[in-house]
Amino acid sequence: MSTINIEVPDIGDFSDVPVIEVMVKPGDRVEADAPLVSLESDKATMDIPAPHAGVIGQITVKVGDRVSQGSVIGTMEVGEAPAAAPAAAPAPSPAPTPAPVAAAVTPAPSAAVAAAQVAAPVAAAGAAPAATTQSARGDYTPAAGAVALPSAADIAAELVGGKKAHASPSMRAYARELGVDLARVKASGPKGRITREDINAFVKGALQAPAAAPVATGGGGLDLLPWPKVDFTKFGDIERKPLSRIRKLSAANLARNWAMIPAVTYHEDADVTELEAFRQQINAEQAKAGVKLTMLAFIIRAVCSALKKFPEFNSSIDLQAEEPALIMKQYCHIGFAADTPGGLVVPVIRDADKKGVAQLAAECGELAAKARDGKLSAAEMQGACFTISSVGGLGGTGFAPIINAPEVAILGVSRTTMKPVWDGSAFQPRLILPLSLTADHRVIDGAAATRFNAHVAALLADMRRVLM
């Protein structure tokens, strides 16, 4: 038998936390991890566990005392001298990590590949850090199989919604390992404590829940209601039409991009009166040669110039790397949305910045025709830096396009209309082209987006500026 001190383990960034309850007395026999003392900060309630099985020697704190990591709260008699670092001693997270957000239950390594891909950055943000143990020197080193305890950030995240989960550090560690949001676990232990059985029951319940019913994540995830299941035949005749392959793929991509990118759409009007007159003139002059300059080709040209002036629009954000970064592209491939019978596809014009308007128009025409015939190769739909979605040939006064990840912006183009524009002394009829730029706010602030949009509009108003 030997006597050891019972110390407060790592409790995140908290210090001077009041003791709100002492659960044992000298002479009590306890199991390893049994709760000895409860602490309550303004953010969380935490139990200090027994580091070993043994008999309590003395408890040196009382309700109202304040403790921090390393404070001795008592002594206990244990069977054998423990190793330098008690097995159950909690270890700190190497970096603050938010509570799991992809789902309340995240069986991480075995998650479906598709789900992992779709939710990758979210899942990465919620991934548990490498577990750590404390060495005899007191520094922390990774330990296989060990479980990292929640950091202060975990605890704060868990408290979203105001509910305090009452659980020991080892139960928090267990919940964390399973990706369980403790705030959602029903406690059955003494005085509302969450036990291992409670966590197991929660996981079991979550796994048995219908797949269509996403589990709420206490604020970290999307917390969506299940998709409505409606028997439409109750209301009239229906026909069930299978989704095309393109629509299935684009549905998944669009949903991810819409949900994961904090996107804002900025609107601008471009005065294309002169440009349209020029386009018509060239097309009339060169009709015999088969040249047809399209508005889209001029817009691509203008966008290439704007991407050179505002290079952050020609980037992708990499949040999954150890050191998050912006990938700045030194090339300029432009995607354009093409409406096809099978659904939306985005052919890509390579090195669009090196091509003239006539060539851009010709390539757009060829790629759009291939898209409609379902003959685009995978390579012809890859590598875009920026996408243009033009519905101008169809109509529209403005819309909010969805960014084509991992790009950081997309330009929506609607129909030109003749509008009265005040020139300082009179209204003039001007041909106005509505531009709607959606940008990823993680990369592009509103001011930059507005400048970019205004620049594209200025270029379209006077394409000579492209030469500048």
Q: Does residue number 336 form part of the binding site for ligand CAO (CB under 6 A)?
A: yes
Q: Is 441 a catalytic residue?
A: yes
Q: Closest separation between CB of residue 283 and ligand CAO, Å?
A: 8
Own/partner pairs for 366-374, CB < 8 Å, 24+ apart? Answer: 367/336, 367/338, 368/336, 368/338, 371/338, 371/340, 371/345, 371/347, 372/338, 372/340, 372/341, 374/340, 374/342
Q: Which of 159, 392, 443, 460 binds ligand CAO (CB under 6 A)?
A: 392
State how far the Cα of 119 lies from the Cα of 100, in Å rounded to an integer. Answer: 12
- Site residues for ligand CAO, 404-443, by CB under 6 A, read 413, 415-416, 433
State how far the Cα of 419 lies from the Cα of 432, in Å rounded to an integer. Answer: 7
Stretch in the footprint of ligand CAO (CB under 6 A) among 82-90, 142-150, 218-226, 337-345: 337-345
Q: Does residue number 300 form part of the binding site for ligand CAO (CB under 6 A)?
A: no
Q: Which of 116, 282, 344, 358 binds ligand CAO (CB under 6 A)?
A: 344
Stretch in the footprint of ligand CAO (CB under 6 A) among 227-235, 241-249, 385-393, 457-465: 385-393
Q: Closest separation between CB of residue 337 and ligand CAO, Å?
A: 4
Cβ 194 vs Cβ 166: under 8 Å: yes
Q: Which of 71, 390, 436, 438 binds ligand CAO (CB under 6 A)?
A: 390
Stretch in the footprint of ligand CAO (CB under 6 A) among 26-34, 325-333, 375-383, 388-396: 388-396
State how far the Cα of 212 lies from the Cα of 226, in Å rounded to an integer. Answer: 6
Distances (CA, A) of 365 to 61, 133, 288, 296, 303: 79, 62, 17, 10, 18
E-strand spans in 357-426?
386-390, 409-413, 417-422
Selected catalytic residue, list 52, 267, 441, 455: 441
71 three-class SS: coil
Q: Closest separation between CB of residue 110 and ligand CAO, Å?
A: 35
Q: Does residue number 337 form part of the binding site for ligand CAO (CB under 6 A)?
A: yes
Torsion of CA 276, 282, 283, 287, to 10 degrees: 170
Q: Closest separation between CB of residue 100 and ligand CAO, Å?
A: 32
Q: Does residue number 457 form part of the binding site for ligand CAO (CB under 6 A)?
A: no
Q: Does residue number 341 form part of the binding site for ligand CAO (CB under 6 A)?
A: no
142 DSSP β-pair partners: 132
Q: Site map for ligand CAO, 345-384, x if CB under 6 A? A: -----------------------x----------------
Per the listing, tokens 């605890």 go with: 155
141 three-class SS: strand
226 three-class SS: coil
Closer by beta carbon to ligand CAO, 99 or else 433: 433
Distances (CA, A) of 125 to 44, 91, 105, 154: 22, 20, 15, 12
Closer by beta carbon to ligand CAO, 238 or else 394: 394
Closer by beta carbon to ligand CAO, 175 or else 338: 338
Residue 382 CA to its chain's centroid (Å): 22
Q: Closest separation between CB of residue 284 and ligand CAO, Å?
A: 11
Closer by beta carbon to ligand CAO, 46 or else 433: 433
Residue 287 CA to its chain's centroid (Å): 49
Residues catalogued as catalytic:
441
- Provide the binding-site residues for ligand CAO, judged by CB under 6 A: 294-296, 336-339, 344, 368, 389-393, 401, 413, 415-416, 433
